[in-house]
Amino acid sequence: MADQQWRREQRARDVALAKGEEIARLNGFVTGPVDPFRVIESEGGIIHAEGDDFRDSFDGRLSYHDGCFLLIFNTCYNRWPRNSNHHPKIRFTIAHELGHYYLDEHREFLVTRQEPIESFVEFDSSKQVEREADAFATGLLMPNYLLGECVNCEPEATLDVIKMTARDFDVSLTSMMVRWTQLSHFPCATLCIRGGLIQWGFASDVFRRYGLWKTKRSVAPSSVDASKFLGFDTSYSKFREGTGWGRAQQWLDGECEPIDVQEFYVVIPYSGCAMVFVIADESELPSRWYDDD
């Protein structure tokens, strides 16, 4: 039963992501970055967007008033370094709020209930509607048709390559690490650490095919190199990065022979968390009995 519900929710997130990609395509983006403000303009005045510094009260809010939508976004993240008018987290927030507008059930809720939806974005919320809107934002800002090829010409992706791509798409390193993992045909995973524990994560399909089907949660990382890096300063208030080595099984649940992974760590001060990217050498993956024929 729980499995069925998980599948249903996963399907809804896939639909939301595809909708985001469709909106990017319909707006004619042929290269990154995708500008969510252009998407707002394409709706011809139905959406009014306004930003202000709301400190840590919420990232974004969408509400419905007499045929129009009011999209409020929190500009507090603009205190951090950025490459354009708005910090990548704000661009993601706007894309996320657009998810509440473009996804039918979300819009219906706004119009019929006349209640605003308040959001915390970038994969931190466990609520299904928020995860669907995050999936929409991921698809809109990093559609497969613009990014997939670039991800899959990098069998040995490093944090530097992902960072560069995040800059090209003007998205945060966090969301690019997630999207990279989703699109990768190589064995990799992305995890978020907060308060010393793994909060959430994504694994690429290759790991899943090897039986490592989901990332660990609510436990401290057991990789020695990672613990050393993370333990150095647990406030996660200053940017720093590092690398190390561990085993895929230290990050992922499932049954599989040991797989060595290279680990990349980076502290994201504006989110107060650390992100970890792990990648295995494809040629060193254990053989699977059904690979023989």
Distance of alpha carbon 47 from alpha carbon 68, whole angstroms:
6
Cα–Cα dist 53/72, whole Å: 10
Helix (H) or strand (E) holding 57: none
CB of 140 vs Zn ion, minimal distance in Å: 14
> Residue 124's Cα: distance from chain center in Å?
9
The count of chain residues that interact with Zn ion, using the rule CB under 5 A, is: 3
Cβ 66 vs Cβ 51: under 8 Å: no
Give the closest residue to 43 by CA, choosing from 17, 62, 16: 62
- Closest approach, Cβ 133 to Zn ion, in A, equals 4
212 with 254: CB under 8 angstroms?
Answer: yes
- Buried/exposed 155-169: b ≥16 CB within 10 Å, e otherwise: eebebeebbebbebb
119 vs 271 by CB, closer to Zn ion? 119
Binding mask 66-105 for Zn ion (x = CB under 5 A): ----------------------------------------
From the CB of 64, what's the least distance to Zn ion, in Å?
A: 14
Pick 89 or 216: Cβ nearer Zn ion: 89
Taking the C-alpha atoms of residue 233 and residue 49, their distance in angstroms, rounded to an integer, is: 38
Q: Which residue is nearest to Zn ion (CB)?
A: 119
Q: Closest separation between CB of residue 74 and Zn ion, Å?
A: 12
Which residue, 119 or 223, has its beta carbon nearer to Zn ion?
A: 119
Residue 72 or 176: the one with the smaller Cβ distance to Zn ion is 72
Nearer to Zn ion, 123 or 207 (CB): 123
Q: What are phi and psi of 247, to 5 degrees?
A: -120, 145
By CB under 5 A, tell whether 133 contacts Zn ion.
yes
Which amino acid belongs to residue 208? R
Q: How far is the CB of 185 from Zn ion (least distance, A)?
A: 30
Q: Is 162 in the site for Zn ion (CB under 5 A)?
A: no
Min separation Cβ 127 and Zn ion, Å: 8
Q: Residue 119, interface with Zn ion (CB under 5 A)?
A: yes
Q: Which stretch binds Zn ion (CB under 5 A): 102-110, 118-126, 194-202, 261-269?
A: 118-126
For Zn ion, the closer of residues 133 and 230 by Cβ is: 133
Residues in Cβ contact with 168 at an 8 Å cutoff, skipping those fewer than 6 apart = 32, 33
Kindly list the residues in this chain that would bind Zn ion in the complex (CB under 5 A): 119, 130, 133
